Amino acid sequence: MTEKVLNILRRQSKRVCCVSDGDLFEKIPPSSIEFLLEQIQEIGSIRKNIVIFDHQLKPEISKFLIKNGFSPVIVPSDKDVYFAIECLDIVNTQQADILCLGIIETTQLPVVISAREKLDILLITQTKEDAKDYMPFVDFLVTIEDLLKTK
């Protein structure tokens, strides 16, 4: 995001709820995860921050996530369905201004389209290429590729 966009957003107190695919977070070094959190907090205050995994976590990863304000959730099957339910719950019951989504693939496109009707969308993906299908429905984009370059 450009500095101009961040300055505009800083003036407003936005409420941000985040739902992320754990596979995306496992590809990011811890220092970059902290930098990513700083970027999100520039936009607004994080009210809910869930990272969804479909496998057990190493204790040090779990402790790191909890220490940094994430709520790791382990689902035994069909992580995509749980992801969609959490997003729609935020859209329909939480008082949020921005839905922050950390995604790896395009399976969540219908959820993004539905959420976009009520909230602004901040999308976190690995590359801009991964986000191309989402772009018509996204207000803000953060890529891990750019994050690693600026860190």
How do residues 1-54 score in pLDDT, each as one tens digit? Answer: 566 556 555 555 789 999 999 998 888 888 888 888 988 888 888 999 999 999
Structure-block tokens of residue 107: 């399976």
Instruction: Judge whether 61 and 33 are in contact, CB under 8 Å.
Output: no
Cα separation, 100 vs 17, in Å, equals 6
Q: How high is the pLDDT of residue 8?
A: 55
Output the CA torsion sign for 25, 39, 104, 97: positive
Q: How high is the pLDDT of residue 9?
A: 54
Residue type, 102: G
Q: How high is the pLDDT of residue 13?
A: 75
Q: How high is the pLDDT of residue 1?
A: 57
Fold adopted by 13-150: Rossmann fold (3.40.50)
Residue type, 3: E
Q: How far is CA 75 from CA 22, 49, 56, in A?
A: 11, 16, 9
Mean pLDDT of the chain: 87
60 by Cβ neighbours in 10 Å (0-12 / 13-18 / 19+) ranks as exposed
User: Among all chains, which residue has been given the structure tokens 């936009």?
Assistant: 43
The model's pLDDT over 93-120, given as tens digits with 9 standing for 90+, comes to 878 999 999 998 888 999 999 999 999 9
Q: Three-state SS across 33-64?
A: HHHHHHHHHHHEEEEEEEEEECCCCCHHHHHH
Cα separation, 46 vs 72, in Å, equals 15
Cα separation, 128 vs 18, in Å, equals 19
